[in-house]
Structure 1
Amino acid sequence: MAGMSAAPRAVIGRLPGEPGVYRFRDSRGRALYVGRAVDLRRRVASYWTDLGDRRHLARMVPQIAGVEAVECDSAHEAAWLERNLLERSKPRWNRVRGGAEVPVYIRLDRRPGVARLAVVHGTGHAGDVFGPYLGGTKARLAVSALDRVLSLGYTEDRLSGSQRDMARVRGVAVADREALLATVAAVLRRQPDAVQTVRQGLTMQRDRAAAGLAFELAARIQQEIEAIDWIVAEQKVTVSYPVADPSDSCDVYGWSDGLLIRFEVRRGRLCTWTQRPCSPDLAGRYLEQTPASWRPFAARGAALARRLADAQSTDH
C-alpha cells in the first residue's frame, strides 16, 4: 500500500472484516467521504490500491488523515445506514445524496380467494406490507424465490386450465393457501425455521439444475438465495412507518475508554453519527438514555471507534 500515510495504514489493521460504514476525514476534521462495505478492512484498504471504476476518488486519497467506521449486523443494514447518513449530509467526494437503490416493500395480498406477493413503493396498500428493503431488483428476486419454493400463486380460487395443471405438478391446491400464506409471512418476519425451509428448498432446486447442466437456471436460483438472505438480514437503522416503539426517535450512545459515540435516530431512521472525547462521569448520563435494544450496537460502535482512534493517535 505504497503512498499511504501512517494513520490510515495503522487503522486498516484495526478494522473488522465485517459489514459496515466508513468515513474519511481530512487534517482539519472535515468529512471527505462516506461509504459502505461488506468487508470494512478490505474495502478501506482498497483505496490505496487500484481504484478501478472509482478513479475519481484518486485525488481524495492523499487528503485522508483519519478513518472512522461503524460495524453493522448485515450488508443490508450497512446499505441503509450509508443512505441515511448521505441523505442528511453529503461530503464533498460523495457524488449522490442518499443512494442509488430504491426503497421498496413486499406486499402479501390476502384478499378472499387470492394469494399474491408483489413489490410496491410504499405502505399504503391492502394486505400485509413488509419492509422497507433497499433495492427493487433484490426484492423482486426474493418474491420470485418465495413463489418458486412455495407456489403460492397456484392456490388461488381462479386459475386457468394450464395453471391448474401446474398446481398439480407442484403438488399444491386451494386447501394449502392459508398454510402457505402463513409460511410466507413467517419468512418476511425473519422467523428462522421458515427462512431455513425456503433456503433449503432453493438450494435443492439450484443443485438439481446444476446437475442437469441447466447452469443459467442454477445461477438464477443462486441470485434468489442471495436475495432472500438480503431481505431477512438484521436491519434496524431504517424501519417501516408508523413506528409504535418509543425508540423510533431517540439518541443512542456508546462509550469506550474516554470516547463517546452518538447516533441520532429520528422516526425510525438512524441518520447522524458523531464521536467525541468524554469523561466516564458525563458518559454515564448519556448511556442511561440509550434504549436497551440499541445498547449492543452502540457499545460495539464505541469500542471500534476507540480502537481506530488509538491506532491513529499512535502514529501522529
Structure 2
Amino acid sequence: MERRTLGTDLTVSALGLGCMGMSEFYGPRDDDRSLRVLHEAAELGLDFFDTADMYGPHHNEDLIGRFLNETSAPMKVATKFGIVRAPGEYRRSLDNGADYAQQACEGSLRRLGVERIDLYYVHRVDQDRPIEETMEGLGRLVGEGKIARIGLCEVNAETLRRAHAVHPVTAVQTEYSLWSRGPEDEVLPTCRELGIGFVPYSPLGRGFLTGRFQDGKFEDGDFRAFLPRFQNGAAQANGRIADLVARTAKRKGCTPAQLALAWLLAQGDNIVPIPGTKQSKYLRDNVGAAKITLSDTDLADIDAGLSERPVSGARYTAEGMKGVDA
C-alpha cells in the first residue's frame, strides 16, 4: 500500500477507512462483522481509521476502541468534535467552544482507549464563533498532549487561512468525489499552497457512483433515502454519471469503485480518501484502487464526460448542510 503524508508529519496509507456506517446512517449495525472488517483492513495495509464522537452517538468510538485493544498493528486514528446530538435524534447543534472541546476530547480519549488522538477535527465550524478562538482552544489540547494534530471539516478557503495562521492545520476533510467537486475551486488549491492534507469523505458518492441505489431501495435506517441526490427524479438524472463511471471502469479493467478512488488519488499526493464500508467484499474492492493508474488522457476524458452530466440535487438536507462551507 502506497503511503502519503498529511500536513508535515502524519504519514498514513494512501487509502483510509471511514467507519461511520458501522454505527448508523447506513442501515442496521453488526459489531462482530464490523470488527472483522476493521481487522481485515489492517491486514490489507490500511492504518488510517476515521471516526467521530457523534457517530452513534459515541458507539463508533467505542467500537474503534475495542478494535485498538485487540490489535497490535500500528494505527492512526482521526476523530472529531463539534456536532452535538441527543441520542436517537438526527437534529444537531454546533459547539466549538474551548470548554466543550476539552470535555469532548477527554470523552473520545476514554472511548478510544488512547493517550493521544492522532488527528482531531472540528467536525463542523460554528459560524457564530471566531475560528481563531476555536483554534486557540485546540492548540491548548495539543500543548497538553491530548491531541497531536488539528483538522477542519467542510471549511471554506478563507476560514482555513485564518485557522492556519493561529495553529498549523494538518488536514481538511470535506466531501469530494466525481459528483462533489466543489473543493477544486478554492479549498484544494489553498491546501496545496499551505502544505495541508486533504481527506475526501464519501469518495464513492455514498455508494451511488458504484452503480448502487439508483432504484431508490434502501434498508431501514439508511439516511440516503432522504438525501436530495437519491430522490427519484435526481437519482435518474445522476444515473448518467454512474453510467459514465461504469463504462470508463470497464475500459480500464477495474470496478467502478476502483475507478472513482483512483481518480481521487490522481488529484494530488496530499489526498487520502476514506471510503467507508462494513463489508469485506467492498473493502477488498476499494483497496484494489491503489493499483489503478489513470493517464492524463483518462482524466481528460472523465472531465469531459462529467461536464456533460450536471449533478442533480443537493448533497444533504437543510439540516445536514449546517456548517458546510463555513
TM-score (norm 1): 0.28
TM-score (norm 2): 0.27
Instruction: Determine which structure has the larger strand proportion and give its number.
Output: 1
Instruction: Determine which structure has the larger helix proportion and give its number.
Output: 1
Which one scores higher on RCO, CA 8 angstroms, separation ≥ 6?
2
Q: Which has the larger radius of gyration?
A: 1
